[in-house]
Copies of this chain bind each other. A is one copy, B any other.
Amino acid sequence: MRLLVLGAAGMLGGKLVERLARDPLIGAERISEMLLVDVVPVQSGAAGEVGVETLVADIAEPGVAEDLLSGRPEVIFDLAAVVSGEAEVDLEKGYRVNLDGTRRLLDAARPSGRSYRPRLVFSSSIAVFGPPFPDVIGDECDTTPATSYGTQKAVAELLLSDYTRRGFLDGIGIRLPTICVRPGRPNRAASGFFSSIIREPLNGETAVLPVPRDVRHWFASPRAAVQFLLHAATLESREIGQQRSLTMPGVSATVAMEIDALRRAAGDEVVSLIRSEPDEAIAHMVAGWPRCFDTRRASQLGFRAEGNFDEIVRVYIDDELGGVIGAASG
Contacts and interface: CB of A to CB of B under 8 A. Distances in A.
A158 B142 contact: no
17 contacts: A91-B110, A130-B242, A140-B141, A140-B142, A141-B142, A142-B142, A142-B143, A144-B161, A145-B161, A145-B162, A146-B165, A146-B242, A148-B162, A151-B158, A155-B158, A155-B159, A158-B158
Nearest to A147: B162
A162 B92 CA distance: 13
Given A130-B242, A140-B142, 11 more contacts: A141-B142, A142-B142, A144-B242, A144-B243, A145-B158, A145-B161, A145-B162, A146-B165, A148-B162, A154-B158, A155-B158
A148 B242 CA distance: 13
A310 to B, nearest CB: 34
A146 B242 CA distance: 8
Interface in A272-303: none
A114 interface: no
Contact size range, A: 20 to 34
A166 interface: yes
A242 B151 CA distance: 13
A14 B143 CA distance: 34
Contacts of A154: 158
Interface of A: 91, 110, 130, 140-146, 148, 151, 154-155, 158-159, 161-162, 165-166, 242-243
Contacts of A143: 142-143, 158
A213 to B, nearest CB: 28
Contacts of A161: 144-145, 151
Contacts of A141: 140, 142
A151 B162 contact: yes
A126 to B, nearest CB: 14
B166 A148 contact: yes
A60 to B, nearest CB: 15
Contacts of A242: 130, 144, 146
A215 B243 CA distance: 25
A144 to B, nearest CB: 5
A165 to B, nearest CB: 8
A156 to B, nearest CB: 9
A201 to B, nearest CB: 37
A308 to B, nearest CB: 29
Among A140, A141, A146, A151, the one with the most B-chain Cβ atoms within 10 Å of its Cβ is A151
> Lowest 9 A-B CB distances belong to which pairs?
A151-B162, A142-B142, A155-B155, A151-B158, A144-B243, A154-B158, A155-B158, A140-B142, A148-B162
A237 B242 CA distance: 35
Contacts of A130: 242
B166 A159 contact: no
A154 B128 CA distance: 13
A96 to B, nearest CB: 12
A146 B143 CA distance: 16
